[in-house]
């Protein structure tokens, strides 16, 4: 093979690699990110810790976490009762991604073994379904 032909082959290979790298970068950088619970940051002994009022401390301590498991295209539990500002986590134990579809909330895709968190600021009844399985429905009752 002559040097002109070798240069053309190398140029084609380089172009293919560049296009593939650009595709991967676009795919991973533009993918929606899951909402994960934030881990508390350790505070060094010399850091100043903000002082909270008794009411603020009581409100923070009162917030609870609840888990709804998605497994075998079903929800467990299908109805959950929580307080305002409690955190509800949906954990996907299926082998495929699912999306929670509620009126005005939800919408993120939950990958297998992934989590989605939603807290509710107002009392009420919030109905939802799995977007890919609309017959699979659940209810969050917020008191």
Specify the DSSP class assigned to residue 72. Answer: T
The domains located in the chain, with CATH, are 63-142 (2.60.40.420)
57: left (phi over 0), alpha (psi -120 to 50) or beta: alpha
- For residue range 48-82, list pLDDT tens digits in order: 556 767 766 655 555 688 999 999 999 999 999 99
In our burial notation (b when 16+ CB lie closer than 10 A, e otherwise), range 1-24 reads eeeeeeeeeeeeeeeeeeeeeeee
- For residue range 90-132, list pLDDT tens digits in order: 999 999 999 999 888 877 889 999 999 999 999 999 999 999 9
């Amino acid at each position: 093979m002559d040097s002109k032909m070798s240069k053309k082959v190398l140029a084609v290979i380089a172009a293919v690699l560049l296009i593939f790298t650009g595709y991967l970068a676009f795919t991973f950088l533009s993918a929606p990110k899951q909402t994960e619970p934030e881990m508390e940051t350790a505070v060094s002994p010399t850091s100043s810790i903000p002082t909270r009022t008794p009411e603020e401390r009581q409100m923070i301590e009162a917030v609870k976490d609840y888990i709804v498991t998605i497994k075998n295209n079903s929800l467990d539990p299908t109805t959950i009762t929580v307080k305002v500002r409690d955190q509800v986590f949906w954990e996907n134990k299926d082998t495929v991604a699912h999306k929670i579809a509620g009126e005005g909330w939800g919408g993120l895709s939950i990958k297998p073994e992934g989590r989605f968190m939603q807290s509710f600021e107002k009392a009420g009844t919030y109905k939802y379904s799995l977007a890919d399985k609309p017959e699979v429905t659940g209810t969050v009752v917020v008191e």
